[in-house]
Amino acid sequence: MRYVLKNFLLAAGLGCALFATTVPSGAAPATNAVPPLNQSGGDPIARIRDEGLNRSEVMKTLSYLTDVIGPRLTGSPNLRRANAWTRDTLVTWGLTNAHLEAWGPFGRGWSLQRFSAQVIEPQAFPLIAAPKAWTPGLAQPISAEVILFEAKTEGDLDKYKGRLKGAIVLMDSTREVKLRFEPLASRIGESNLLRMANAGPTDTRPFTPGRSSAPINPPSTNTAAPKSNIAPTNTVTPKNPPATTNTAKADAGAAQRTNSSAALPSGRALSFVTSEGAALVVTPSSQGDGGTLFVEQASVPLAPPAGTNSPAPASRQPWATNAPVMPPQIALATEDYNRLVRMIRHGEKLKMAVDLQVRYHLEDPMAYNTIAEIPGSDLKGEVVMLGAHLDSWHSGTGATDNGAGVAATMEAVRILKALNFQPRRTIRIGLWSGEEQNLLGSRAYVAKHFGYYTNMTNVAAVRSPREEGKMPRVTTPAATNAVTRKLVRTAEYEKFSAYFNLDNGTGKIRGVYMQGNESVRPLFRKWLQPFSGLGAETLTFGKTAGTDHESFDGIGLPGFQFIQDPLDYWTRTHHSNADVFDRIQADDLKQASTILAAFIYHASMLEEKIPRKPVD
């Protein structure tokens, strides 16, 4: 799941799942029944349930994807391997038109070749650590002094001038690790499900399953932890800001540098450390404890190294082929990091030994989505889609984020092929790349095949369809004008029925976010009814954000994400070194795969397409 931190917040409005609602005029009738099958074998949903729960292959699929292929950073060789393997596996199950569809250009790929880190003086002990994605490597293994960088103002930088060359620099103070009194894992309680079901369109209260107890030590609420001295990765700001954004920030930083008592901007701190020739930059894990390490991408300085004529960087993305010079960067588990800081404050002289070898991949700047289909019959020109994101972060193996969703959606189409069902509409699966970089893969796919808005500042969402996956930027005004923006629809727009996404970890499905589309309630209520005994019965009017259904919903197409039990997704596995196969709950994933298969089957067999909500 995205974001760099996944923004799983609900937008304004939740709806009742426990009472009947009148379908708005013009919407598809609630009696949109599924016609009988032209195959023998009894009730299709009973057969789907039997196949999905009793002969599942979902864990076998997930194990190969995560244990064998491993982490799948966008642009990396591992992701290319996963693209090819998922395509070929879907072909063996009988899907057609299986191919890798290019989008981009994305930028440079990155892979880790070798890494180790330990303290060697005044005593030896290992460290729980991981490199940040797209970090440069070291020319050779180093053994270097560890320096704690505690500059808070421009004036504080003077005491570090000439001291950082070749050093390993700790860029933060300690982060408090609070005692946990709540369980690491949880399911959505009945009261919370009821709240989701009973809220209406005017209810603006956010609901985030699992966030009430997680993360235990979030950076935004841990008042004991000082602000980081390293430039933040794009976990809150848009992933593709206009080029003027960074220039403005750099100019602001320059203005502050004229006042030695002004607070030191984080980008300026990293720029200073870079210009001083630090060998390695180290930060603590942003959250977590007990050895769980949360790590995403390397930070890019907001200003060029001092004494150079280089312009301010036009992009803060470390995967950009023209990314500015940045130091090698790693993250440490919080307890290890805190110990190093305390030892230095006690007057100890620390030395670390680090080996960090990486490789950038520049051969092909494009990225790829995996696409495959089950052809329809009388309505084969219309499409029902399901999908999940194939890319992941790199410190774990991307099991819960989002190997689980990939395996479940693949299992759903396997179930339908194993039962030899013939859908009326074409069923298409999309396994997306670039989700962790702001839904880039699914946005590009939707823009090419279905439509896009003009007058958007986020260029990732405003790509014009072109042949051979070439997606040049659309010339747009500097600011978005919500009144004058225009939705450009392709010929495929009206042939699209619905998209169903799974990307909230390994937890079982508890219901569906309707994304403000009240007219789907009667259909989804009927489709969930056979699975109420498996815990799936809640429908909420509300929206959820942060994953690939947004690419469809954003241009007015029905795109849905399922409500899932959080388990330990937010507390332990999301973007962490604990995101591995052993955190997967097999029974939950079987249940999710089965419900996915049933929803896709139903949607493919309706007389009419899934009803849509109004769009600008």
Domain spans in the chain, listed from the N-terminal domain onward = 44-106+366-439+492-605, 110-178+216-361
Residue 267's pLDDT band (cuts 50, 70, 90): confident
User: Are 528 and 611 contacting, i.e. CB atoms less than 8 angstroms apart?
Assistant: no
List the one residue out of 574, 502, 595, 496 whose CA is nearest residue 544: 502
pLDDT by residue (tens digit) across 175-213? Answer: 999 999 999 999 999 989 988 998 777 665 545 565 543
Residue 250 has pLDDT above 50, yes or no: no
Q: Report, as an integer, the average pLDDT of 38-66.
A: 91
Highest mean pLDDT: which of 316-320, 344-348, 469-473?
A: 344-348
Cα distance from N-terminal residue to C-terminal residue, the chain? 27
Helices (H), 149-239: 190-198
What pLDDT score does 204 carry?
53
What pLDDT score does 614 carry?
81
The neighbour count for residue 388, using CB atoms within 10 Å, is 27
**44-106+366-439+492-605 and 110-178+216-361, same CATH topology:** no
Residue 234 has pLDDT above 90, yes or no: no
What pLDDT score does 207 carry?
55
DSSP 294-337: B--B----SSPPTT--PPPPS---TTSTTPPP---EEEE-HHHH
Q: Report, as an integer, the average pLDDT of 390-407.
A: 98
Q: Report, as an integer, the average pLDDT of 581-588.
A: 98
What is the overall mean pLDDT for the chain? 83
DSSP 29: P
Residue 34 has pLDDT above 60, yes or no: no
* Lateral strand order in the sheet of 425-432: 96-103, 367-374, 425-432, 379-389, 496-501, 559-564, 509-513, 538-540
Q: Regarding beta strands 168-170 and 142-148, do their DSSP bridges make them parallel or antiparallel, or are they unpaired?
A: parallel
CA geometry: angle at 502 spanning 504 and 96, to 5°?
150
What pLDDT score does 215 carry?
30
- For residue 144, give the H/E element and its range: strand 142-148
What pLDDT score does 470 carry?
33
More confident residue, 606 or 6: 606
In the CATH scheme, what architecture does the domain 44-106+366-439+492-605 have? 3-Layer(aba) Sandwich (3.40)
Q: Report, as an integer, the average pLDDT of 331-350.
A: 98
The neighbour count for residue 80, using CB atoms within 10 Å, is 18
More confident residue, 316 or 120: 120
Residue 406's pLDDT band (cuts 50, 70, 90): very high
List the one residue out of 547, 581, 563 whose CA is nearest residue 194: 563
Interatomic CA distance for residues 201 and 16, integer angstroms: 9
Residue 312 has pLDDT above 80, yes or no: no
Phi, psi of 195 (to 5 degrees): -60, -45
User: Are 6 and 210 contacting, i.e. CB atoms less than 8 angstroms apart?
Assistant: no
Choose the CATH number for 110-178+216-361 among 3.20.10.10, 3.50.30.30, 3.90.1150.10, 3.30.200.20.
3.50.30.30
More confident residue, 271 or 309: 271
**Could you tell me how far CA 431 lies from the centroid of its own chain?**
13
Residue 27's pLDDT band (cuts 50, 70, 90): very low
pLDDT by residue (tens digit) across 86-105? Answer: 999 999 999 999 999 999 99
Burial of 140 (0-12, 13-18, 19+ CB in 10 A): exposed
Q: What is the pTM of this model?
A: 0.83
Tokens of 297: 């991408």
Percentage of the chain beyond pLDDT 70 is 76
Interatomic CA distance for residues 52 and 427, integer angstroms: 18
More confident residue, 465 or 616: 616
DSSP 56-122: --HHHHHHIIIIII----TTSHHHHHHHHHHHHHHHHTT-EEEEEEEE-----EEEEEEEEEEEEES
Residue 537's pLDDT band (cuts 50, 70, 90): very high
Residue 261's pLDDT band (cuts 50, 70, 90): low
List the one residue out of 29, 477, 9, 486 whose CA is nearest residue 211: 9
Residue 35 has pLDDT above 60, yes or no: no
Range in 93-102, 246-255, 298-307, 368-377 the model is least confident about: 246-255
Q: Report, as an integer, the average pLDDT of 293-308.
A: 79
